[in-house]
Amino acid sequence: MTEPFGALLVLLCLLQIKHMFGDYFLQTRSMLDGRDQYLHTGRFLHAGIHAAGSAIAFALIGAPVGFFLPLVLAEWAVHFHIDWWKGRLTSDQNLTPADAAYWRASGIDQALHQLTYVAMIGIWLLWATG
């Protein structure tokens, strides 16, 4: 396997691990409460945890800061807005984990985050092989 493709697999694994920690282990009550509000400090911090984790992942595979800094700042903004959409939808429709629509919204939320990683990896791969 050539170098960029081996690093691609490592990067994919690192982003998956950081996503698990960012979404399931490192969220606090303040990050979860009031997520339907646009200017939400908890969501700001939550998206920041994801951006920081991605920065670490890119640094570990040897990507330069000048390359990954704009990428993880864009990820922060995308993550912030995906979570705001989900928070707004679940609040507006009074959805709880007992509702199927809640789980559909959660599935869309998670799929959009994963597609963000696909885009980030694709951009890195173009850069690394270009």
In the chain, pLDDT over 90 holds for what percent of residues?
Answer: 90
**Could you tell me the pTM of the whole model?**
0.94
Nearest to 76 by CA among 105, 54, 106, 60: 54
Hey, where are the domains in the chain?
Answer: 3-129
Q: Which residue has the higher pLDDT, 57 or 129?
A: 57
pLDDT at 2: 60
